[in-house]
């Protein structure tokens, strides 16, 4: 007996019983013929043979019809399994794709179902043993019970198949893959790690960093609303002023700060102004500073190029530099005069003396411009001017702040503050910018010679033991201190971190001096009621008032913050971040205005009065260095970038011009 399952029950076929019934029919026919006592005549025999043949054919046709019915039932069963599988698949969420393993499992179940149905069909074709007469007389109810039992088993198998398919397809829905990571914020250009940094991923102080970004946005918004296109904002008057020849100094000084802080919309506004509005040809009748134009305008444009890759900044920088060339050509030594008109390239030749910082702070920007523009003339003229000063130094640690136009030093006023500072800074930074090219070794050696001389002859202590850098006037200590000198701790820290060939004894000595002078500079802030430092101080012999403000104004200066940033990079001592944060809070409390920021007239007061100037270097330097103080070390790493004296980062490159001013 074979059962074929379906939703309406089971179809049961007892082939043995059907076979036995045929035999019985044959026997009964034989008996009936015998009872008539028919004679075995040829006609009778022929008639009997024909009747037997008909019976056999009828039996064969009956079996064939039965096989067709069974096959149809098998096909129907297969169709039901297929419909169930399709229905189960439709229940699955279209957005949830199954795994390869789940698909394979479902396929195996479907194949098993097909095999089972095929086996049923095949079983109907297999000969079955005959059953006894007692089995033939079983009641019909027994057949129905067996049929119902087989139907239940079939339904259970279908239920198992259904649940297996559901589990296989819905497993990805229960355990969906993790969502893709969010897109990264606009990053600064990818950088290499700094030599002395620890793990940079844990270095950033995001809360303080964001506060500085908000300050930059406030400063920029005030400038853009009331002074866009002017050199600087007058926050109290809420208008602009042109004190650098109308070159849009604040815009160009802010470009790289906006980029580094991720203020891309503001950067785009500044970039568009440079591309469409920045000109030099129409700046007639005004003498501008060669020095300030180099460090702010050329430096700012080159930095914006190095960060963004936009060539418009190189094109504009080249136009400015071409207008400055005549200042180099106007002296017999090749040292540039400081005042020049951009409209006709005419320098002011009235003054026979030049300022050391002015003539010694050119080569970094002009060398970088040569590399970006491939015009060798810029790097060559700046290199020749620098070598005039190096020749004058020879074995001396310093040069006086006044230089004659023929290159001869004049006077004996030695200072690492105003009029002398950036010359010594660039001795180190030119060497670093060229990736410490051997042809520029003389620059590095001269810097080391100057730092040794400074530590031996200019560094002094206050009555309470604080360390500071003094001036020397005609061979005597000046006992005065300009805020500009607070760049020195950072300069020493940079040399300690980045000079490859600095010996260990000097490395330790410079590090110690950097930390001590940095502490003195921070004390200039901490000891004032406003929390901000004066422009000039005098050093007395009295511990009670050992540092007395001489010029008590505060003009949003960056030098102390610059040094705190570099001291942090060197030491990872959190006190430098805390000191910087204290300075930032004092700026927010005293200098923030409804429009931008303003300097102070007297830092000795608890609530000082504001001046009416937001210096462009506040956005270029003070806020940039403050932001970097709270950033990780991979933000402008010091083994890839070098800051010019206006805090514009320039990418280090192998030079096209050698230290002897020859093409490499």
Which residues contact residue 422 at a Cβ distance below 8 angstroms, ignoring those fewer than 6 apart?
295, 357, 360, 361, 645
d(CA 658, CA 380): 9
How many C-beta atoms lie closer than 10 Å to residue 390's C-beta? 16
d(CA 430, CA 443): 7
Per-residue three-class SS string for 218-234:
HHHHHHHHHHCCCCEEE
Of 253, 292, 519, 621, which residue is the catalytic one? 292
Beta bridge partners of 6: 9
With beta carbons less than 8 A apart as the criterion, state whether 510 and 451 touch. yes
Q: What is the DSSP letter of 511?
A: H
Helix, strand or coil, per DSSP, at residue 640: coil
Of 266, 371, 421, 425, which residue is the catalytic one? 421
With beta carbons less than 8 A apart as the criterion, state whether 390 and 442 touch. yes
Q: What is the DSSP letter of 545?
A: T
Residue whose C-alpha is closest to residue 268's, from 241, 276, 184: 276
The dihedrals phi and psi of 19, each to the nearest 5 degrees, come to -65, -45
Matching residue, tokens 């030695």 = 414
DSSP string spanning 21-51? HHHHHHHHHHHHHHHTT----HHHHHHHHHH
Query: How many CA within 13 A on the CB side of residue 366?
Result: 30
Which residues contact residue 133 at a Cβ distance below 8 angstroms, ignoring those fewer than 6 apart?
none
With beta carbons less than 8 A apart as the criterion, state whether 331 and 337 touch. yes
With beta carbons less than 8 A apart as the criterion, state whether 493 and 570 touch. yes
| Region for residue 406 given its phi and psi (left: phi exceeds 0; alpha: psi -120 to 50; beta: otherwise) | alpha
| CA distances for 539 relative to 70, 424, 480, angstroms | 116, 24, 6
Two structure tokens written together for 599: 């300097």
For residue 290, count CB atoms less than 10 angstroms from its CB and return exposed for 0-12, middle for 13-18, buried for 19 or more. Answer: buried
Which residues contact residue 387 at a Cβ distance below 8 angstroms, ignoring those fewer than 6 apart?
659, 660, 661
Our answer to whether residue 421 is catalytic in this structure is yes
With beta carbons less than 8 A apart as the criterion, state whether 372 and 433 touch. no
Of 365, 535, 621, 646, which residue is the catalytic one? 535
DSSP string spanning 191-257? -PPPTT---GGGT--HHHHHHHHHHHHHHHHHHHHHHTTSSEEETTTTEEE-SSSSS-HHHHHHHHH
Two structure tokens written together for 555: 């003009």
Q: What is the DSSP letter of 622?
A: I
Which residues contact residue 650 at a Cβ distance below 8 angstroms, ignoring those fewer than 6 apart?
299, 302, 303, 306, 364, 365, 368, 433, 641, 642, 643, 644
Our answer to whether residue 292 is catalytic in this structure is yes
How many C-beta atoms lie closer than 10 Å to residue 317's C-beta? 27
d(CA 383, CA 354): 17
Of 358, 559, 633, 634, which residue is the catalytic one? 559
Catalytically active residues are 292, 421, 535, 559
């Amino acid at each position: 007996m074979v059962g074929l399952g379906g939703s309406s029950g089971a179809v049961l076929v007892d082939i043995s019983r059907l076979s036995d019934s045929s035999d019985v029919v044959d026997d009964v026919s034989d008996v009936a013929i015998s009872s008539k006592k028919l004679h075995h005549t040829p006609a009778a025999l022929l008639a009997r043979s024909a009747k037997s043949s008909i019976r056999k054919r009828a039996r064969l046709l009956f079996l064939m019809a039965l096989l067709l019915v069974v096959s149809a039932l098998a096909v129907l069963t297969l169709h039901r399994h297929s419909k169930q599988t399709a229905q189960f698949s439709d229940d699955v969420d279209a957005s949830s794709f199954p795994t390869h393993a789940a698909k394979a499992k479902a396929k195996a179940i479907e194949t098993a179902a097909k095999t089972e149905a095929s086996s049923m069909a095949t079983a109907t074709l297999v000969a079955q043993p005959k059953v006894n007469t007692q089995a033939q007389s079983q009641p019909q109810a027994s057949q129905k019970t067996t049929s119902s039992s087989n139907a239940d088993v079939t339904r259970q198998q279908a239920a198992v198949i259904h649940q297996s398919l559901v589990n296989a397809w819905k497993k990805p829905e229960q355990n969906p893959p993790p969502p893709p990571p969010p897109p990264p914020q606009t990053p600064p250009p990818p950088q290499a790690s700094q030599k002395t940094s620890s793990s940079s991923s844990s270095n950033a102080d995001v809360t303080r960093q964001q506060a500085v970004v908000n300050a930059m946005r406030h400063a920029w918004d005030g400038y853009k609303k009331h002074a866009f296109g002017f050199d600087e904002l007058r926050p109290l008057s809420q208008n602009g002023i042109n004190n650098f020849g109308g070159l849009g100094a604040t815009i160009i000084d802010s470009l790289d700060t906006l980029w580094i802080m991720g203020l891309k919309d503001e950067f785009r506004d500044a970039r568009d102004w440079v591309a469409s509005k920045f000109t030099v040809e129409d700046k007639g009748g005004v003498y501008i500073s060669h020095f300030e134009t180099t460090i702010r305008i050329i430096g700012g444009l080159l930095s914006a190029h190095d960060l963004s890759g936009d060539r418009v900044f190189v094109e504009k920088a080249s136009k400015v530099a071409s207008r400055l060339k005549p200042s180099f050509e106007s002296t017999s030594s090749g040292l540039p005069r400081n005042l020049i008109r951009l409209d006709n390239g005419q320098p002011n030749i009235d003054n026979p003396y030049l300022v050391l910082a002015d003539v010694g702070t050119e080569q970094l920007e002009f060398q970088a411009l040569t590399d970006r523009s491939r015009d060798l003339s810029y790097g060559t003229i700046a290199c020749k001017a620098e070598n005039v000063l190096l020749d004058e130094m020879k074995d001396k640690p310093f040069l006086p702040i006044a230089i004659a136009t023929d290159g001869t030093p004049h006077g004996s006023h030695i200072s690492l503050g105003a009029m002398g500072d950036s010359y010594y800074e660039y001795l180190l930074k030119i060497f670093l910018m060229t990736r410490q090219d051997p042809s520029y070794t003389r620059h590095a050696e001269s810097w080391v010679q100057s730092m040794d001389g400074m530590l031996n002859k200019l560094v002094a202590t206050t009555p309470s033991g604080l360390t500071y850098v003094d001036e020397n006037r005609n061979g005597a200590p000046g006992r005065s201190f300009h805020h500009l000198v607070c760049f020195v701790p950072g300069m020493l820290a940079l040399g300690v971190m980045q000079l490859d060939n600095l010996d260990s004894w000097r490395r330790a000595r410079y590090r110690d001096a950097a930390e001590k002078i940095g502490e003195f500079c921070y004390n200039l802030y901490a000891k004032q009621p406003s929390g901000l430092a004066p422009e000039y101080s005098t050093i007395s012999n009295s511990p009670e008032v050992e540092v007395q403000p001489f010029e008590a104004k505060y003009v949003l200066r960056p030098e102390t913050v610059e040094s705190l940033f570099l001291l942090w990079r060197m030491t990872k001592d959190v006190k430098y971040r805390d000191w910087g944060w204290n300075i930032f809070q004092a700026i927010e409390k005293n200098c923030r205005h409804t429009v931008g920021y303003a300097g102070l007239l007297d830092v000795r007061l608890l609530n000082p009065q504001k001046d009416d100037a937001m210096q462009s270097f506040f956005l270029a330097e003070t806020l940039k260095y403050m932001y970097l103080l709270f950033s990780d070390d991979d933000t402008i790493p010091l083994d890839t970038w070098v800051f010019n004296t206006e805090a514009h980062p320039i990418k280090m490159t192998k030079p096209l011009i050698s230290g002897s001013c020859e093409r490499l």
